[in-house]
Amino acid sequence: MSSAETIHIDGVWRAAASGAQREVLDPADAKTLAVVSEGGADDTDAAVAAARRAFDGGQGAWPRTPVAERAALLRRVAELLQRDREEIALTESRDTGKTLEEGRIDVDCVADAFRYFADLVVGEGAGRVVDAGSDTLHSVVVHEPVGVCALITPWNYPLLQASWKVAPALAAGNTFVIKPSEVTPLSTVLLMKLLVEAGLPDGVGNLVTGAGDPVGARLSEHPDVDLVSFTGGLASGVKVAQAAAPTVKKVALELGGKNPNVVFADACATDEDFDTAVDQALNAGFIHSGQVCSAGSRLIVEESVRDRFVAELARRAEKIRLGRGTEDGVECGPLVSAQQLDKTEAYVASALAEGATLRCGGSQPEPNEVRPAGGYFFSPTVLDHCHRAMKVVREETFGPILTVETFRTEDEAVALANDTEYGLAGAVWTKDAGRARRVAGRLRHGTVWINDFHPYLPQAEWGGFGKSGTGRELGPAGLAEYREAKHIYQNLAPEPVRWFAG
């Protein structure tokens, strides 16, 4: 397979039908990292047709493959991921800009997801028996695969987000077509190779590299696609839902967030507590240069500790070591693209125009031995004296920007944290166990951390309220997204009804 043959349809690697190609850029220096096929509508239609055949085939088709065999394949994929951990982590680091250590963690999490869904389906019963009120009636609810799934993944965590979709889709017995972001497609190509090596039958898994329009748009509207699972921005998610509506297919959307990190004064009562809260605020806002859907980009801190907290936060943020993610000692990599860099600069400019105070960052750093000229680097930025009317506080910036708001009362803290059209994740920091439970219970976000930020578990559902999307990934509900419930009612002693007199 040449480097440009990155489309995989019905077991065959191929170039785009049009012959078009796209350069994938290294965000650390803006130089060409790889060349991939630029798929179009024809490639998409061929991939969907292959997935349709693999789903609708005879007794040997994937949906009728025994659960134990499907689970065994998922476990083989997990083993292969660990075998190729360094290669995949390096690819993810260079493609997305994140540090190599973050890439390694991603590979481990992906393997965990494949193992989790393998264990989940193997441990299930044959169905839920329903009491129909008679010994002569047998009633059971079973779950069957949805069908052909279109899986559209984002550029920030391409491998991780692919696993959150591919693993449950296959575990449930579906076939799929996956479209990674055109900005960061390389690790998804590697994952598809591992699926093939693990023994995935031809046509069950298909990959089309290419742009959102036409590939993602065609997948969303395609009449032979039964489900679309999309992770990405709000505007694109709305387009996916609109395109899918005429065919009334299932749609699952994870559309990001504007996530509050609420710090009460009692969480800073001792020097050790203070150090932990500041450290976690840095992690919340600046991991992967803030290019995280659950990033704690809104620091909401109690007024009495605000000055000390923000001063220390800014001091530490200035010391974050920026550079190419594969270099030793680098703590934070570049933004993923020139477009994302431009957006970040524009958000900072708008915040300053609206009255925010720049405490650190706010511009591109000077190049050095680990930070090549031309890379999409932006210094971690802390903006103080922010308020809800500001664009930078309302909108998902997806950059290393942390805004600071303050509160005086618990009610005010909750009101600020919930004052967003999104509702993906949030955190509360306090030593008061009662307050922690009260605030966590009142926050309208799909994940709430208490005295922590960012961890997730494959066993626990992930998703959001409001404009953060619909449906859930991970956990039992994440598997349920890829299934349809069917009620089978059997009369063991049928008799005439005699409703009609004739």
Judged against a pLDDT cut of 80, whether residue 1 lies above it is answered with no
Q: How confident is the model at residue 59 (pLDDT cuts 50, 70, 90)?
A: confident
CA angle 252, 258, 263 (to 5 degrees): 130
Judged against a pLDDT cut of 50, whether residue 251 lies above it is answered with yes
Average per-residue pLDDT for the chain: 97
Hey, what are 226's tokens? 């039964």
Q: What SS3 class is residue 73?
A: helix
Cβ-based burial of 380 (10 A; exposed 0-12, middle 13-18, buried ≥19): buried
Q: What SS3 class is residue 129?
A: strand
Positions marked catalytic:
254
Nearest to 112 by CA among 167, 158, 65, 180: 167
- In whole angstroms, what is the distance from residue 170 CA to residue 303 CA? 50
Answer left, alpha or beta for residue 442, where phi above 0 means left and psi between -120 and 50 means alpha: alpha
Judged against a pLDDT cut of 90, whether residue 4 lies above it is answered with no
Average pLDDT for residues 152-179, to the nearest whole number? 98
Consecutive H or E run containing 261: strand 260-263
Residue 48 exposure: Cα atoms within 13 Å on the Cβ side: 22
- In whole angstroms, what is the distance from residue 309 CA to residue 303 CA? 10
Write down the pLDDT at residue 58.
78
Q: What is the pLDDT of residues 327-354, one digit of tens each?
A: 999 999 999 999 999 999 999 999 999 9
Consecutive H or E run containing 102: helix 100-122
For residues 271 and 312, is the Cβ–Cβ distance under 8 A? no
What would you measure as the largest C-alpha separation in the chain, in angstroms? 93
**Which residues are paired to 227 by β-bridges?**
149, 250
Q: How confident is the model at residue 167 (pLDDT cuts 50, 70, 90)?
A: very high
Average pLDDT for residues 227-237, to the nearest whole number? 97
Hey, what are 178's tokens? 């996956």
Average pLDDT for residues 425-447, to the nearest whole number? 98
Judged against a pLDDT cut of 90, whether residue 3 lies above it is answered with no
Judged against a pLDDT cut of 50, whether residue 145 lies above it is answered with yes
Average pLDDT for residues 24-48, to the nearest whole number? 98
Give every CB contact of residue 347 below 8 A, 6+ residues apart in sequence: 391, 392, 395, 397, 399, 401
Nearest to 39 by CA among 264, 201, 209, 213: 209
- In whole angstroms, what is the distance from residue 261 CA to residue 427 CA? 5
